Structure 1
Amino acid sequence: MKKSISYQYQAQYSVSHEPTFQEKEIWLVLHGYGQLAEFFLRKFQGFDSPDRLFVAPEATNYGYLDGFSGRVGANWMTKHERETAIRNNHRFLDLLMGELLSQYLERPKINVLGFSQGAATATRWGSRWIGEVNLLVLWAGGFAQDMILEDAREKFSKTKFTLVLGDQDEFITPESIEIQHQLIKNLGKAVKKLTFSGGHEIDIEMLSRILDSNE
């Protein structure tokens, strides 16, 4: 007979600078499968400023990337105990953002970028988070297929969406594009679609365009 127990757990996150709590915008950036937050954040470090804080939470499921030693990566979930992992992700992100925002006298603009597996995690979490997301960028990934559309329509009513894909991304298939097309149609929201020349990666030039256009 399988049972479960709840206990206090310590999770990690990285920030682009020590928060002053005077920033005008926060970018919550969620890494992809097999990555670590501190290295993922390096892609955004060049865009850090006194008015812009990047926050990169690290998924709490870890594993060796090759065999039984060497480099370690984190993932937001696997098929094993998937629903439990999703609930844990939500609690982690709720607590992180709640504690961070509680220290601001003037609430900053909240933008979220999810890369690869982090994109689906971002949509699941954002569609039920108590706060409001200004811009949601889904990079090399898309909306979670199990996202509750009724909740998402209401929660994302004022949220802007941007979908970014590399034209040589080996993980993007015609089938996955069609699934996302249908999800977007069912969501009933306009989505800005951007394409860059490259693969399954964060393209710095494209990232700069997105950040500059959101200022």
Structure 2
Amino acid sequence: MNSQEKEISYTSTNSYSTLNTLTERTKTVWLVCHGMGYMSRYFLKYFKGLNAEDNYIIAPQAPSKFYIQPKMHVGANWLTRDNTEAGMENIVNYIDAVLEVEKIPEGVHLIVFGYSQGVSVAMRYIAKRQLQCDQLVLHSGGIPKELTAKDYKYLSKDTKVKLMYGTEDEYLDEQRIVLESARATDLFGDKVSFMPFKGTHVVNVEFIEKLV
């Protein structure tokens, strides 16, 4: 038996979701990466409290969909530990295509926001594409081990990095929070600030609305 794993490239189609309308009055554009088990169109609900005229939200859709038991809701996953590099390359090309279509104008504030699994996607994407942003928000997720301070040297001195987490997060115990906080400081130095809140592994809408 001669078993081989081979690789091909092909064109794929994926959706993404937006909230509000991009106009000349838009002040802030958000690129938001959802967590595992979410769909981009439902993830947008956490941003509905933002001023609609000032804020335009772009939510890419994780490519791998699955059924969530027991009610068989559909959720999605960005990456697994299997063939992560190739998977991330596909995601990078996909987000490139989204941003090419959306044509974010110069002069607006750009917030890159990752929640849970979306933290690793957001961090890898901006590092690979050296995307300048005004804020990088890392909400309740893990920092990829391969990233180093050199990957983010390109960021403007004015870029703010926010690390948000619930103090009762079932996926981030105290030891993990200390570790992730130290990693963030190693990567971003004095750019990073910490925003803990009393709560579990949930999206903190109140904090989101304080970011603008």
TM-score by length of 2: 0.88
Instruction: Give yes or no for contact 1:16–1:48 (8 Å, CA) kept in 2.
Output: no
Instruction: Give yes or no for contact 1:12–1:58 (8 Å, CA) kept in 2.
Output: yes
Question: Alpha-carbon deviation of 1:20?
Answer: 3.1
* 1:150-206 residue CA offsets vs partner (Å, 9 max, x unmatched): 122334654210011112111112332233233223224221111222111112222
2:88 maps to amino acid: I
SS of the residue aligned with 2:49?
Answer: helix
Question: Which deviates more, 141-150 or 123-132?
Answer: 141-150
Q: Percent identity?
A: 28
**Aligned ranges 1:54-133 → 2 under 5 Å:** 54-66=57-69, 70-101=72-103, 104=105, 106-133=106-133
Question: Alpha-carbon deviation of 1:11?
Answer: 1.2
The separation in 2 between residues aligned to 1:24 and 1:207, in whole angstroms, is 16
Instruction: Give yes or no for contact 2:32–2:58 (8 Å, CA) kept in 1.
Output: yes
* 1:27-53 residue CA offsets vs partner (Å, 9 max, x unmatched): 011100111111110110121422210
Which residue is equivalent to 2:27? 24
Runs of 5+ unmatched residues, structure 2: none
TM-score by length of 1: 0.87
Q: How many residues align?
A: 208
RMSD of Structure 2 on Structure 1 (CA): 2.0
2:16 maps to amino acid: Y
* 1:107-133 residue CA offsets vs partner (Å, 9 max, x unmatched): 422111100010111111111224311
The separation in 1 between residues aligned to 2:61 and 2:168, in whole angstroms, is 27
The separation in 2 between residues aligned to 1:178 and 1:204, in whole angstroms, is 23
SS of the residue aligned with 1:195?
Answer: strand
The separation in 2 between residues aligned to 1:73 and 1:21, in whole angstroms, is 34
Which residue is equivalent to 1:179? 179
Return closer, same or farther for 1:156/1:186 CA change in 2, 3 Å cut-off.
farther
Instruction: Give yes or no for contact 1:48–1:54 (8 Å, CA) kept in 2.
Output: no
Question: Alpha-carbon deviation of 1:6?
Answer: 1.3
Question: Which deviates more, 45-54 or 146-155?
Answer: 146-155
Question: Alpha-carbon deviation of 1:3?
Answer: 1.7
Question: Alpha-carbon deviation of 1:81?
Answer: 2.2
Return closer, same or farther for 1:158/1:98 CA change in 2, 3 Å cut-off.
farther
2:98 maps to amino acid: L
Of residues 34, 44, 47, the one that matches 2:47 is 44
The separation in 2 between residues aligned to 1:20 and 1:209, in whole angstroms, is 22
Instruction: Give yes or no for contact 2:49–2:209 (8 Å, CA) kept in 1.
Output: no
The separation in 1 between residues aligned to 2:28 and 2:159, in whole angstroms, is 15
SS of the residue aligned with 1:147?
Answer: coil
